[in-house]
Amino acid sequence: MQKYSNRKFVIGAIAIIIGIVYLSRLFWVQVVDSTYKLNSEKNSIRREEQFSARGLVFDRNGELIVHNMAVYDLMIVPRQVSQFDTVELCQTIGIDIPFLRKQISKARRHSMFKSYKIVHQIPDTVYAVLQEKLYKYPGFFVQARTLRKYPYNVAANVLGYVSEVPDRIVKRDNYYKSGDYIGFSGIERSYEEVLRGKKGVQFNLIDVHNRKKGSYANGKYDTIPQIGGNLVSSIDIELQQYGELLLKDKIGSIVAIEPSSGEILALVTAPTYSPSDMVGRLRSENYPILIRDPLKPLFNRATMAQYPPGSTFKMLTGLIGLQEKVLTPSQHYSCYGGYFSKARPIACHHHRPSLDLAEALQMSCNAYFCHVFRNFMEKPGFANPDSALTRWLKHVHSFGFGTHLGTDLESELKGILPSVESYNRIYNGSWNALTLLSLSIGQGEIAITPLQLANYTAAIANRGFYYTPHIIKDIDGNGPIDRFKERKYTTIDSAYFEDVIKGMYLAVNGGWGNGGTASIAQINGIDFNGKTGTAQNPHGENHSIFVGFAPLTNPKIAIAVIVENAGYGSTWAAPIASLMAEKFLTDTVKRKSLEERVVNKNLLDRGEKEQ
């Protein structure tokens, strides 16, 4: 039985030798030979993100206002790069050799194996040439991207811009990878998730010569990019363009709203910049210039600048008086050049001495509204000034002042309203109607944004309610955001508005000789109603303000214009508002000389520098 027992050694040796051979082979493949490690990076799959085209934006009339153009990023995987003709590559894409060297060494420091973007946003014309030669540059490949294009090249403050996603967002949101694009301001930012669509991923087999060998596993793991959703803006791009033209060489804002929907028709800020200047490689050149500009073109005055409303606030003072029954429309107050209280006399300009409410608005009498305000504050129903002011604030709030309106515009400011606490602090608890008297004419501890002022105008035009203003009226065919469909009622009964509106009508259409302060805003054939404002401010000349709407019934447009340091409301703001309304309602502007006067006026030198 033990005859062949020694053969166990032969058999055992076979097992051991196979083990040793395999281990040597494994040691060779895994430890000594580096070709397989390289292979695993090179010869394997390359994960390429397929960027979805961002959604398009149309204006309210179906005009395309934002679309895409293709550009290409030149990428590099340092480990795969071998000898190539640097001069030719640099010439092809128009960069200098030191820059290329610098970028390649940056890429090396980043990772030898991972792809790195060395040249950003090569235009498609250059790419057409580069593509033919790309096979000569192993380790290089291009990634298609899209950049924004603006056919009208206006409304930069509304549209915003797209730029590479900052690191802090990459860390927080794993949708984004370093080098991706993200909406950075304006609607690009507030509607980012609609516009961006969904990235796709493609796994490609790549050979050592940097050529695609086809898709991996027949595309089983690939996902198709989903094109971003389209938006329809409520903006009338031609009106916007016209507004920007009118505010040329001026500082200020125009906000126009369709009262029956809250849709913003134009949102002009001046000075501004061209949206095309912030696209792609231009952005890095232009951004530093814009950010250092003392006139702050990147500052969206329409939603962020805060001004005293001045006389445009008088309608609200009147409305509160009517609502609180301390005023009737036929109530007359005399004015002898001002309201003379001991604490703070308020001057008035020259007009007929005795006026009712509508006339007071027509002629913008300060004294009249001081009376109304004082009567309200000292109304027997209120126990003390605190409760009167609280009631007053409730009415003012209901027009959207002193709060975020909740629009779809980014960085909207609240404005400033006084509070009981702030007066207690300032006046040590001892204050009364006279202390606050300037509030009645929109001066003092009150500031509003142009957007709030336009919204207030829309609420008057609607006789007592407004829709939250918004810039996007349709998201990919699904209408606007739901909250924009909701009416917001003011605390003033609808019946009281007619008397105030009558005053606004007279201000524009009452005739210059008759004391109408805004006769310059009169439009032939259109019932344009408005109110001027001349806001005193510590920064130089008065701000020229105007609010208005048209037509009288079923108003189509409510508009607020503020021109900084431009003097009387009737001088610049009123004609601008009037021209905007005419442009919007009739499509053409017949008053060419007025238009010319406005467009050619430079008001940039009226600001603080004189002090």
To which residue do tokens 């008297």 refer?
437
Cβ proximity to other proteins: between 3 and 172 the closer is 3
To which residue do tokens 């060998």 refer?
213
| Burial annotation 52-77 (CB, 10 A radius, 16+ → b, else e) | bbbbbbbbbeeeebbbbeebbbbbbb
Cβ proximity to other proteins: between 8 and 168 the closer is 8
Cβ proximity to other proteins: between 221 and 512 the closer is 221
How near is the Cβ of 35 to other proteins at its closest, in Å? 7
Cα–Cα separations (whole angstroms), residue 202 to 16, 139, 195:
46, 18, 21
Cβ proximity to other proteins: between 11 and 383 the closer is 11
Cβ neighbours of 145 (radius 10 Å): 21
Amino acid at 82: S
Cβ neighbours of 345 (radius 10 Å): 12
Cβ proximity to other proteins: between 46 and 120 the closer is 46
How near is the Cβ of 212 to other proteins at its closest, in Å? 14
CA distance 447 to 402: 8
Cβ proximity to other proteins: between 39 and 478 the closer is 39
Strand partners of residue 72: 122, 144
CA distance 473 to 484: 9
Residues in the chain, total:
611
Amino acid at 152: Y
Cβ proximity to other proteins: between 3 and 292 the closer is 3
Cβ proximity to other proteins: between 206 and 507 the closer is 206
How near is the Cβ of 168 to other proteins at its closest, in Å? 25
Helix, strand counts (H, E) of the chain:
21, 22
Cβ proximity to other proteins: between 33 and 486 the closer is 33
Give Cβ neighbours of residue 531 (< 8 Å, ≥ 6 apart): 311, 312, 314, 315, 361, 364, 503, 504, 507, 517, 518, 546, 547, 548
Cβ proximity to other proteins: between 37 and 171 the closer is 37
Cβ proximity to other proteins: between 33 and 596 the closer is 33
Q: What is the 3-state secondary structure (H, E, C) of 130-178?
A: HHHHHHHCCCEEEEEEEEEECCCCCCHHHHCCEEECCHHHHHHCCCCCC
How near is the Cβ of 199 to other proteins at its closest, in Å? 17
Cβ proximity to other proteins: between 169 and 208 the closer is 208
How near is the Cβ of 48 to other proteins at its closest, in Å? 14
CA distance 307 to 543: 8
The closest alpha carbon to 478, from 54, 55, 51, belongs to 55
- DSSP-derived secondary structure for 343-373: S--EE--S--SEE-HHHHHHHT-HHHHHHHH
How near is the Cβ of 218 to other proteins at its closest, in Å? 12
How near is the Cβ of 209 to other proteins at its closest, in Å? 13
Cβ proximity to other proteins: between 24 and 478 the closer is 24
Burial class (CB in 10 A: 0-12, 13-18, 19+), 400: buried
How near is the Cβ of 41 to other proteins at its closest, in Å? 8
Q: Are 287 and 273 in contact (CB under 8 A)?
A: no
The closest alpha carbon to 307, from 537, 138, 65, 34, belongs to 537
Chain residues binding other proteins by CB under 8 A are 1, 3-19, 21-27, 29-33, 35-37, 39-41, 43-45, 203, 216-217, 221
How near is the Cβ of 80 to other proteins at its closest, in Å? 15
Strands of 45-50's sheet, edge to edge? 45-50, 200-206, 212-215
How near is the Cβ of 16 to other proteins at its closest, in Å? 6
Q: Tokens standing for 441?
A: 């004419």
**DSSP secondary structure code for residue 567 in this structure:** -
> Of all residues in the chain, what percent are helix, strand and coil, respectively (each to 5)?
40, 20, 40
Q: Tokens standing for 183?
A: 């909406």
Compute the Cα dihedral for 395, 399, 401, 402 and give only its sign: positive
How near is the Cβ of 202 to other proteins at its closest, in Å? 13
How near is the Cβ of 208 to other proteins at its closest, in Å? 11
To which residue do tokens 């061209």 refer?
274
Cβ proximity to other proteins: between 223 and 375 the closer is 223
How near is the Cβ of 102 to other proteins at its closest, in Å? 30
To which residue do tokens 């899209």 refer?
146
Amino acid at 259: P
CA distance 104 to 86: 11
How near is the Cβ of 243 to other proteins at its closest, in Å? 51
